[in-house]
A and B are shown apart, each in its own frame.
Chain A
Amino acid sequence: MNSLADFKLKLPFVIVVAHQKGGSGKTTTCINLSVELSKLLNTTVIDADSLKQFTTFNSKRKEPLNQKHISTSEALEQHLRADDGLTIIDLGGYDSDFSRAALILSDMIIIPMSDSDNDIDGLGEFMSILEKTQSVRADIKPFVLVNRVHHADKSTHNDLSAFAKDKPFEVFDTVIRNNKLHTKMIFTGENVVEKKPTSKPAKEILSLVKEILTKA
């Protein structure tokens, strides 16, 4: 990977991983990104999902990532005012005043979604929240991440990119495809790159990291 100086991302920076529906891969995305971005940047992770799966994952790590337990918008504001690094927030699939505060305070929103009807429905609902959030801060950058699709799927990314043309979000070029390496990370404490650095899922995650650093 290029040196950090080659990329656009400037600290402090806040990434929120969010989607209205459960099962879209928010925590999996958060785990994969947190591990990789922690290698490059001073990173803090906030597990705001009530399932606390990121917290379980982190507890299994030999060297846990820097994690903070924050559940109110006041505490989040306080943390971000003091922090000069990267903060990654794993938001649960709910709509609360805390989740909206997190969206308002974010610099980049990553919305993982598969091609399931459930996720597509959820994106519609989430878009209305995004529009409200952008009415507070127009400079927030939401990106949809095509996630958990079949290894041969081509249409989901093309369809979403066409759909996004007049919408308040962009679509990442990187596509994360279904692979068993993404499962059981929570119980092993390793992300896909640590599990198998030369695998396809690892390459996809590294490509996503590069894209985030470039598009931030």
Chain B
Amino acid sequence: MRNKFEALNSDRAKEVMADSHLKENKPTTTKEKTKKNQMVYGIPVDLAAAVDATGESLSSFAKRAMLRLAKEEDIF
């Protein structure tokens, strides 16, 4: 008789597990974390850092407007 670990990794087990109602909460991968961190209130981290570096106090609305302009100019 095959052992339980072989059974768990069998095609039939994968079918049975895929058929469940809920999916596991997989731990967040480094890649996903990086993607999340790239945005601050919908603004790329690079742009937010560049604006902060100017010392100007800008609202997120202003930052988004800058982002829109930057995209039009192919800067981001």
Known A104-B13, A105-B8; judge A99-B20 contact (CB<8 A): yes
Q: How far is the CA of A96 from the CA of B16 in the complex (A)?
A: 10
Q: How far is the CA of A133 from the CA of B42 in the complex (A)?
A: 44
Q: How far is the CA of A99 from the CA of B20 in the complex (A)?
A: 9
Q: Select B22's contact among A73, A96, A133, A139, beta carbons within 8 Å.
A: A96
Q: Which chain A residues (92-119) contact chain B, with CB distance < 8 Å?
A: 94-101, 104-105, 107
Q: Is the CB of B16 within 8 A of A132?
A: yes
Q: Is the CB of A101 within 8 A of B17?
A: yes
Q: Which chain B residues (13-65) contact chain A, with CB distance < 8 Å?
A: 13, 16-27
Is A135 part of the binding interface, using a Cβ–Cβ cutoff of 8 Å?
yes
Interface size class of A (residues with CB under 8 A): 20 to 34
Q: Is the CB of B25 within 8 A of A73?
A: no
Interface size class of B (residues with CB under 8 A): 20 to 34
Q: Is the CB of A71 within 8 A of B25?
A: yes
* Chain B residues with CB under 8 A of A95: 20-22
* Chain A residues with CB under 8 A of B25: 71-72
Q: Please, could you name 22 A-B residue pairs with CB atoms under 8 Å apart, sorted by A? A: A71-B24, A72-B24, A73-B8, A73-B24, A80-B5, A95-B20, A95-B21, A96-B22, A96-B23, A97-B18, A100-B16, A100-B17, A100-B19, A100-B20, A101-B13, A104-B7, A104-B8, A104-B13, A105-B4, A133-B16, A135-B12, A135-B16
Is A194 part of the binding interface, using a Cβ–Cβ cutoff of 8 Å?
no
Q: How far is the CA of A73 from the CA of B9 in the complex (A)?
A: 11
